[in-house]
Structure 1
Amino acid sequence: MKLAVLDIKGKETGRKVDLSDAVFAIEPNEHAVYLDVKQYLAHQRQGTHKAKERAEIAGSTRKIKKQKGTGTARAGSIKSPIFRGGGRIFGPRPKDYTQKLNKNVKRLARKSALSIKSKEEAILVVEDFNFDAPKTKDFVGVLKSLGLENKKSLFVLGDSNNSVYLSSRNLKGSEVITSSEISTYKILNANNIVLLEGALEGLESNLIK
């Protein structure tokens, strides 16, 4: 699969790159994609939710009224869950939501996601670029040139580039990552994938094993 290499003005440079069919043209495995996205979303949960139960509430443990003869239900401590300000019954407790997923399944899911985007013709290859200083205005100019101004876009770099990353950080619809940080969720969540030339080798070598 060959794609033309564009510059940051959106014009063809006259060069083409050959994208590996083993990464960008496989039959997508929907179940692998589901498992990887499910794991990613589960890992976003902090799991720090907590409600105080009866034993953790500050309050007197004195029996608030006699057991019999009041005409109402028996009651013990004021910390009882049936009273206002009492402990919560079966409240949420801290929990680890992380899930284990086989590395081969994760690779298959990412290749499937890239193949889906490739079939949708939503992948662009752009020559490596840099900014003299971090400026959101410069990054917006690149988005306009590539026709991605009002679309969700994912830029994949070969190596971390602080100027490009900081220039994109204030833009809600765009994200800049390196090839080692790519995930199935981020691929599918974007309308367009912008691969910088320097990211191709690392991306393909990580996914073809």
Structure 2
Amino acid sequence: MSLGRKLLAEFVGTALLLACVVGSGIMGVRLAAGNEAIALLANAGATAGILYGSIVVFGPVSGAHFNPAVTLVMRMKHELRTHEALAYMGVQIVAAVAGVLLAHAMFDLPLLQPGTRIRTGHAQWLSEGVATFGLVLTILLGVKHRPQAVPALVACYIFAAYWFTASTSFANPAVTLARALTQTFAGIRPEDVVGFVFAQLMGAMAAMTVARVLSLNPLSRDREQPD
């Protein structure tokens, strides 16, 4: 598969992901009549759905990373060359911004609106570290043990992580950067992005370490059989 086709798959998949995250947040808030739990449920369900569909469709083309943290881990595992990984990351960031703009356009909102939602502090950073750790670990172990189940595994994990993390599980540097451009339900203040991205990268590195340890084959020992 040519790099150009892989990058196109990453662009389309990432843009659709962000359009879904932001768009479903807007729709959820409008229909929930002030009930944020219902809005979050709608947001989480829609995100899980788009992830499952996009990974199934684009996975055979590009691997369906849609996430610079995942791409970084795959580069460190030597599954991508450096120039490929950098191209993936660049496309993911551009596509994420395009997805946010698309969501705004679909709901007739100002296209550019710097985020105002405060998401900072140790609890938020810990949440993002945990969210990204779990996502990357799910991918690495899923690819090793149940590759056909990876779309469902990722979708299920993200749906759950929306609810068990205080940050609602961004778990993706490109998503975080792009969501700093919306004042909607899914937004984040631009000044809070650095803390989120740092926590996400630390979570990804921790997941890679744990996956490596769990994948080690223990030394086999012959057991003496009783006479």
Calculate the TM-score normalised by the size of structure 1. Answer: 0.22
Of the two, which has the highest radius of gyration? 1
Q: Normalising to structure 2: TM-score of the pair? A: 0.21
Higher helix proportion, which one? 2
Higher percent of residues as strand: 1
